[in-house]
Chains A and B, each alone.
Chain A
Amino acid sequence: MIQPFTSDPLRWVAEDGLPIRELPDRFTPAVLRDLHREMVRAREFDKKLVTLLRQGRTTFYAQSSGMEATQVGLARSIRVGHDWVWPYYRDHALGLAMGVPLLDLISQCLGTNSDLCRGRQMPHHFAAQRQNFVSISSSIASQVPPAAGNAMAQKYLGVDEITVCTFGDGATSEGDWHAGMNMAGAAGAPCLFVCENNQWAISTNLRAQTASETIHIKAKAYGMPGYYVDGNDVVAVMEVVSHVAEGVRAGNGPALVECLTYRVGSHSNADADAEKNYRTREEVNAWLARDPITRVERLLDHLGEPVSAEERADLISAVHREVDEAVLRAEATGQPDWRIMFEDVYADTPVHLREQAAFLRNEQEGVGA
C-alpha cells in the first residue's frame, strides 16, 4: 500500500479536502481537530515571532508557515521523549508539537535566563533534553552524521528507539549529508531521515540545487527506501512516516522520507522581500492555495464537523495570549550575565578559562585593577 520510490507524492486528502484514499479510522474528527489546533499554533507562533523580530526583541527568525503538516505530522508519528530527533533550524512546529514548552522556545529566541541553552545560540536554535530534541546547528547538514551515530548507538545499546534527522532540500547538496546517509546505510542504523523539501534554500531553487528529479530517489544510492509524500497533507505525512518509522524500529535499517512542501514566508529576516528578489508572487499564491491548515478545515467540513469561524478566532487569540504571556515571563527572568560565557565550554573549567573569567569579572564588576 505504502510504496517507496513513487513518481508522485503519496496523498490521502486532496486540496479540496476530499479524501482520495479511504481515510484511516484513526483520523477521527477529534484527532483532526488536534492536528488543526497544533498547526494553527505553529502558524500563529510564526506571526508573533515576526512581530517580536520587528520590535527588536529577537534578532533572527526562520518562518515555517506552509510547512506545518510536515512538522506536526512527523511529531505525531514518533514516540516523543523516547525516540531521538536531530532537527534543523526551521523546526519549531516540530518542537512545539513534540511538547517542547512554548516558554522554552520563546526563551531561546529571546536569550533570557529561562533559556535552556543559556543565551549562547543564535535565536531559533533550540535544544530540549526532555524531548530528546538535540541542539540545532546553523551549519547545514552537520546534524546528519551525528544522527547516524546516534542511531548506531541505539542499535549498539539494543534499545527500542529510533533517530529522526530532519533537513531541508539544500542540505542534500552538502558532503555531510551524503556521508551521514552512507554511514547509516552501511551500519543498518535505525535512522529515519526526513527531507522537508520546501523547494528553496534561501534564494536557490531546487532545480538549481540538484539535477536529481527528486530528493527521495537519492535514497537508492545508500541502500535504503525513499518515500515521496505530499508534505501539505498531514494525513499522508502521518500515514507514511508512521509506517516507515515502524519499519525502522523493527530493525529494517534507515529510510528517507521526502515531504514536498513550501516555505511560504521568507528564509529569515535576511530576505524579507523574497517575492521581489527571487521568486514570483504567482508561485507563492499557487502554494498558498495548497495550504495545509485549510486542507484540514476542508476535510473537517467534508466530515460534517466544521471548524467555525468563531472557533478558529478563539484558537488564534489563545495562541497569541500564550505567546504574549511567555514573552513576559521570559523577559522577567532577565538576561544571563557574563558568567555564561565560561560555563559549559568543558565538563570542568580549565585554569586558563578560570583566569579569563576572573579578568572579565574584574572588568564587569569593577573589582581590583
Chain B
Amino acid sequence: MTATQPKPSTTTGAGETRILTLIQAINEAMAEELARDERVVVFGEDVGARGGVFLATAGLQERFGPRRVFDTPLSEASIVGAAVGMAVRGLRPIAEIQFADYMGPGFDQIISQAAKIRYRSGGQFTAPLVIRTPSGGGVKGGHHHSQSPESYFCHTPGLKVVMPSTPYDAKGLLKAAVRGGDPVIYFEPKRLYRAAKGEVPAQDYTVEIGQGAVRREGTDLTIIGYGGVMPDAEKAAQALAAEGVQAEVIDLRSLVPWDRDLVLTSVAKTGRAVLVSEAPRTANFMSEVAYTVQEELFDSLLAPVLQVAGFDTPYPYVQDKVYLPGPNRIAAACVRALNY
C-alpha cells in the first residue's frame, strides 16, 4: 500500500499483525467487544444465523449465542429505537441497518431519541450505541442500495459520524464507538468490504473518533476524502506523482467531529485543497470542510477550494461507475487547482 499507516491513537503494546479485509476487521471488532463486555449486544435484520447480508456478523451468533447476537423484526424504527432503550437501560447495543438507504424509517429514532436524550434530560439519561450500516455505491445496487446519506446525520448535533476506509481504522473506530459515551453512526463503504485489505494488529487498540489520517505526504496540494473514495484519491495522487506533482492525501475517517487541525495544517502547507466525496454535491458534508478552509486560510490559499462529488441525482444503476468520482475526475480537479 502506498498509504501511510495512521498512527493508532491508543494501543496496548506492539505485536503481531495480520492482513484482513475491511469486513473481516469489522467482524473481528464486534467479536472482541462481545467477548470483552457482557453489555454488548449485536442485532438487526438477518445478523444471526445468516451473519448479515454482507456477512459482517458471520459466526458471531454461533460463538456468542442468540441472546447476544440476534435477528429482529424487519423494522428500522424498531431496531434503532430498541437500541436507544437498551442503551438507556445500560447495555451497549450495536445495531445493524442492512443498507444505509433504509435508514428512513429509523430516522425519527436517530434524530429525536438517540441524538437528543442526553441533552434534553440534562444528562440524566444517555444512549451510547452504535448503528452500523453499509453505504455508498460501486456495487451495481441502484438507488436503494448505493446512497451516501451521511450528511443528514452530520447535521444533527448529538450524533457522532464515522466512515473508515481501511481495515485498521474499521476495527479501531468500531471499538472506540462501542466504548464511547455517545450514539455513533458508523458507515461502512460497502465497495471496500473485500477490496480494502491491510494490516491489523492482533492486539487490542482503538482509533479515536475525530482524528483524520495522512495517507500520503505531499507539498503541492491536499486531497481530502473519506470512505469509498479513498482508493481513488490515492490513485489520483499516484498519477499526479508521475507528472511531478506531490499531492498530500488525507482520510477524514470521522465526519463528526472532524479533524480540522489536520486539514488546516495540510492546506496551510500546500495552499490548495480538493475535496472528494461520493455523496450528492448540494449540502454535501465536504461543503462544511470547504467553508472552514476558506474561512481559516483565505489569505494563504493559492487556488479556490474545489469539490469533487456525486451528482444531485438519485443514484443511477446503469451509470454506476460514471456517477462516482473516480481517479480521473479527482486528478482533473487537482490539475485545475494547480493551474489556477
Which of B88, B122, B256 makes the CB contact (< 8 A) with A116? B122
B8: interface (CB < 8 Å)? no
CB distance from B91 to the nearest CB of A (A): 5
Which of B41, B67, B121, B128 makes the CB contact (< 8 A) with A127? B121
A148: interface (CB < 8 Å)? yes
Q: Which of B45-53, B111-119, B168-176, B228-236 contacts A (4 or more CB under 8 A)?
A: B111-119
Q: How far is the CA of A179 from the CA of B72 in the complex (A)?
A: 11
B105: interface (CB < 8 Å)? yes
- Number of contacting residues on B, CB 8 A? 49
Contacts of A350 in B (CB 8 A): 210, 256-257
Query: In chain A, what residue has the closest Cβ to B95?
Result: A149
Q: Contact: B113 with A146, CB < 8 Å? A: yes
Q: Contact: A127 with B78, CB < 8 Å? A: no
Q: Contact: B108 with A139, CB < 8 Å? A: yes
Which of B81, B90, B125, B210 makes the CB contact (< 8 A) with A142? B81
Which of A116, A151, A156, A179 makes the CB contact (< 8 A) with B124? A116
Q: Contact: A148 with B85, CB < 8 Å? A: yes
| A345 in contact with B118 given A128-B124, A145-B78 (CB within 8 Å) | yes
Q: How far is the CA of A344 from the CA of B81 in the complex (A)?
A: 20
Q: Contact: B78 with A117, CB < 8 Å? A: no
Q: Contact: A344 with B109, CB < 8 Å? A: no
B86: interface (CB < 8 Å)? yes
A87: interface (CB < 8 Å)? no
> Digit string of A107-140 for contact with B (CB within 8 Å is 1, else 0)?
0000000011110110001011100001101010
Which of B75, B85, B157, B210 makes the CB contact (< 8 A) with A345? B157
**What class of interface size applies to chain A in its complex with B?**
35 or more
Residues of chain B in range 92-120 having any CB-CB distance to chain A below 8 Å: 93, 105, 108-109, 112-113, 116-120
Q: Contact: A186 with B85, CB < 8 Å? A: no
B126: interface (CB < 8 Å)? yes
A74: interface (CB < 8 Å)? no
Contacts of A134 in B (CB 8 A): 88, 117, 121, 125
Q: Contact: A149 with B82, CB < 8 Å? A: yes
Q: Contact: A176 with B125, CB < 8 Å? A: no
Interface residues of B (CB under 8 A from A): 41, 67, 72-73, 75, 77-78, 80-91, 93, 105, 108-109, 112-113, 116-126, 128, 157-158, 160, 180-182, 210, 256-258, 260-261
